[in-house]
Chains A and B, each alone.
Chain A
Amino acid sequence: MKIIVCLKQVPKNDSILRINEQGNWIQDRDLTYEINESDAYGLEAALQLKEKHGGEVIALSLGPPRVQTVIKEALARGADRGLHLEDTVFDGLDAFGIASVIAAAAKAEGFDLLLTGLQSDDYGFAQTGVIAAELLGLPHATIVMDVESKEGTIRVKRELESGFFQWVSMPAPAVLTIQSGINTLRYATLKGIMAAKKKEIKKLDAAAVGVDQASLAPKMAFRRVYLPQKSKQTQFIEGTPAEIASKLMDKLKNEARVF
């Protein structure tokens, strides 16, 4: 089984965020980075499938040179080789643009499964995997919690609302977007880190992937990014438990009007 896992490098979620001068995104000053959370679970799912069925796991990341850290981390955890999509043309792409580049690179590589995380921690679009599937003309499933593979058929467990699940089957190749927390992430071992040094990371630019700037032109733009305004206030109710309970009921009835 040949699996490509898409790994996005995102700012750590406790970073100090400063809005840039244009007011349409954050500055990269003082940011530290990590693997997008759900992508890390995608990688683990891929590694577990490989352990079961054999084959190959390819770690793919798109972005500036710093994203190689993410690829190296994946190689240290057990991915077989890396694909680094890097070109200034890729700067500032929207989900459609990113999906177009990934789809082209994945198509050239060939695969049985293309995995992405459910959504990225920074943009949170949850579109990249789905658009890539459409561009490739392949079946896809989102919010995937479990993956089984049998004779060219992929069977996945999807999360629905309110604790319900759904099992769906589809033929491979397919694209899956993986939910966070579905497995236990492994650690990079010393042996893995040593082995990773010898693994290949192939760099591909726009020409190598076969995409041109015009076809990637963003169809969506950020108009304004701003910090959320604090609008909620916490009130402390004091008194004996009985008094607190009755005051709370009063507030719920008359102020919040939930009853």
Chain B
Amino acid sequence: MEKIERDSLEVDVLFVGAGPASLAGALRLRQIINEHNETAGEHGRKKLEEITIAVIEKGREIGSHIISGAVMDLRPLEELLPNFRELGAPLDSEVTEEDVSYLTRHFKIKSPIIPPPLNNHGKYVVSLNKLIRWLGPIVEESDVMLLPEFPGAELLYDGDRVIGVRTGDRGIGRDGERKENYAPGADIFARVTVIGEGSRGSLTKKLVEKLNLDHDRNPQVYAAGVKEIWELPSGRVKPGFIMHTLGYPLPNDTFGGGFVYGMKNDLLDVGLIVGLDYQDPFTDPHRLFQEFKQHPAIAKMLEGGKMLHYGAKTIPEGGLFSQPKYYGDGFLIIGDSASFLNSQKLKGIHMAMKSGMLAAETIYEALVADQFDEQQLSRFEAMIEDSYIHKELYQVRNFHQAFRNGRRWGLIEAGLQYATGGFGLFGDLKTEAGHEKMKKLHVFNRLPRTSGDVPQLEPVKYDNKLTFDKVTDVYRSGTEHNEDQPSHLKVLDFNICIKRCTFEYGNPCQYFCPAAVYEAEEVNGGRRPKINFSNCVHCKTCDIMDPYQIIDWVTPEGGGGPNYINL
């Protein structure tokens, strides 16, 4: 085989994925190194000279793939940049009014009190996307190399030791052949590789598998969040108003709920979270979200408005017991990739940032010791366990598991957990991977009546005012991929789709994907998905929820994906 000439680069610390975890981590590391060097003389210590820190990112710009709810706990930001207000942090609005409601098909029943875990007093409604677009240049100015359009395609190893990342090749055609502008991926070698890819990271998945990092842990469970940003007639939106809902349109056995957040400039955030451990294979988070908007209480809020942006993302909500071992020879895992997320409040930004900052402290010690092996980096775990984020994770360690038997029991059990510091009735609970909970069609009486009659969900008509089909929504996510490249969604065996999935589960990929990537095509009496990969908003739902686990999400050509704004 012909040898490929690759660019290579050596750095000291490489962060993968420019989200809140990595950016906070990279900036904190630079700050600590600077502090160290300022006082090194006084203490007779050696300076840390010319430490290079790089962050690679698959998006076209820093921030273009960033999406979150979001109501944010500002603690880590206050620690990282105490003058964040003077620096113009785009925080939008402090929470001023809260509403927690239960929705039935036609009515909204407002909870007379805000349950303590849902109290967001003092927190801020933010657009995480805006916050990251703001934070990027600050991090870059502190002498951190930011490399957008460079996805981490594979980890580089020396035995079991992570030694860096190979970025994705570019200029490969849909037929797999090299084009005129073929540019092979670069090898970036680092003394420590910090993986902050977000939910269901494609490198994290392979690393966890290879090194068995989830041994003795619960499998990770996820939820899919879909949301839109609406612009309403002037004066209608109350900035800082937040509403969380349970109930309609989710069936009792499906975890999740809706949210509505008021922002400045007449913008309203509307979204729905759907647990990716549902049972009915015809569950369609995007469709449920359209139903959510049609609820009289929500539809009234949106009346006369215009939908501006759309996005979708998965959320790791397995909590403490689903965390993989997040350190090892040459690597650390931070943020959503390591499940640093409060599954009860569905808040992870502060944990992501804090985990990145503690990773920075760990790496600083490693740089001083000039040791990057597992033992040295295990300091990360000790630091996490001493921090407020661990305390928070511990309190809600059984929250998601409480909903294993549906919403009604879940609420009762979660209440008991709250009263007992997280212990609940049954102590620490096991869980199973979400895709294993999906039940076959016959359970829902959805078997084909005659041979060749393949069950399928009836399509619905959307009015393009309040409700939109997936393709229209995807357009509003600004998603773009170079069409002339191989699909980055690898279906490992189409025979399973045609021969088994069609009849056992009804090809659920066409439903769970919130971006119309998977389109069912009739082949030999069964169906297989036609993969419109260029629609992909990088939410990873397919990689998670496919019942046979034959969909592998890999990074597409750098720069491809959504172009999120305000989300």
Residues of A bordering B, CB below 8 Å: 12, 14, 16, 29-30, 32, 184-191, 193-194
Contact = CB atoms under 8 A, between A and B. Distances in A.
Contacts of B170: 187
Contacts of A30: 565-566
Interface in B156-196: 167, 170-171, 179-181, 183, 186, 188
A187 B563 contact: no
A14 B478 contact: yes
Contact of B149 (A12, A32, A188): A188
**What 3 A-B pairs have minimum CB-CB distances, sorted nearest first?**
A190-B186, A190-B7, A191-B7
B7 A32 contact: no
A133 to B, nearest CB: 30
A126 B308 CA distance: 31
B143 to A, nearest CB: 11
Interface string B477-519: 0101000000000000000000000000000000000000000
A184 B180 CA distance: 7
Given A187-B170, A190-B9, A190-B150, A12 B563 contact: yes
Contacts of A188: 149
A43 to B, nearest CB: 13
Nearest to A18: B231
**Residue from B147, B150, B183 having most chain A Cβ neighbours under 10 A:** B183
B475 interface: yes
A190 B179 contact: no
B214 interface: no
24 contacts: A12-B478, A16-B309, A16-B565, A30-B565, A32-B61, A32-B478, A32-B563, A184-B180, A185-B181, A186-B181, A186-B183, A187-B171, A187-B181, A187-B183, A188-B149, A189-B7, A189-B183, A190-B147, A190-B150, A190-B186, A190-B188, A191-B7, A193-B147, A194-B9
Contacts of B566: 30
Contact of A14 (B167, B188, B265, B475): B475
**Residue from A16, A29, A184, A194 having most chain B Cβ neighbours under 10 A:** A16
Contacts of A189: 7, 183, 186
Contacts of B309: 16
Contacts of A14: 475, 478, 480, 563
A244 to B, nearest CB: 22
Contact of A190 (B61, B167, B308): B167
Interface in B135-164: 147, 149-150
Nearest to B478: A14
Contacts of B150: 190
Nearest to B179: A184
A5 to B, nearest CB: 18
Nearest to B171: A187
Nearest to A186: B181
A144 B61 CA distance: 31
Nearest to B180: A184
Contacts of B7: 189-191
Nearest to A185: B181
Given A189-B7, A194-B9, A16 B308 contact: yes
A33 B46 CA distance: 44
B354 to A, nearest CB: 29
B513 to A, nearest CB: 21
B145 to A, nearest CB: 9
A191 B7 CA distance: 6
A30 B308 CA distance: 11
A12 B562 CA distance: 13
B301 to A, nearest CB: 20
Nearest to A191: B7
Contacts of B181: 184-187
A12 B61 CA distance: 12
Contacts of B183: 186-187, 189
Nearest to A16: B308
A29 B130 CA distance: 12
Nearest to B130: A30
Contacts of A190: 7, 9, 147, 150, 167, 186, 188
A189 B167 CA distance: 11
Nearest to B267: A30
A238 B547 CA distance: 39
A40 to B, nearest CB: 12
Contacts of A32: 61, 64, 478, 563, 565
A29 B566 CA distance: 10
Interface string B103-127: 0000000000000000000000000
Contacts of B147: 190, 193
**Residue from A29, A185, A189 having most chain B Cβ neighbours under 10 A:** A189
A33 to B, nearest CB: 9
Interface string B551-567: 00000001000010110
Nearest to B559: A187
A247 to B, nearest CB: 24
A187 B559 CA distance: 11
Nearest to B479: A14
A16 B567 CA distance: 13
A193 B149 CA distance: 11
Given A190-B186, A191-B7, 13 more contacts: A14-B475, A14-B563, A30-B566, A32-B61, A32-B64, A32-B565, A187-B171, A187-B183, A189-B186, A190-B9, A190-B167, A191-B186, A193-B147
A234 B566 CA distance: 33
Contacts of B171: 187
Contacts of A193: 147
Nearest to B56: A190
A184 B475 CA distance: 26
A6 B144 CA distance: 29
A249 to B, nearest CB: 30
Nearest to B167: A190
A142 B171 CA distance: 29
A183 to B, nearest CB: 9
A16 to B, nearest CB: 5
Nearest to A188: B149
Nearest to A197: B145
A13 to B, nearest CB: 10
A133 B495 CA distance: 62
Contacts of A184: 179-181
A12 B167 CA distance: 26
A32 B171 CA distance: 24
B29 to A, nearest CB: 20
Contacts of A185: 181
Interface string B300-323: 000000001100000000000000
A186 B480 CA distance: 18
A186 B565 CA distance: 27
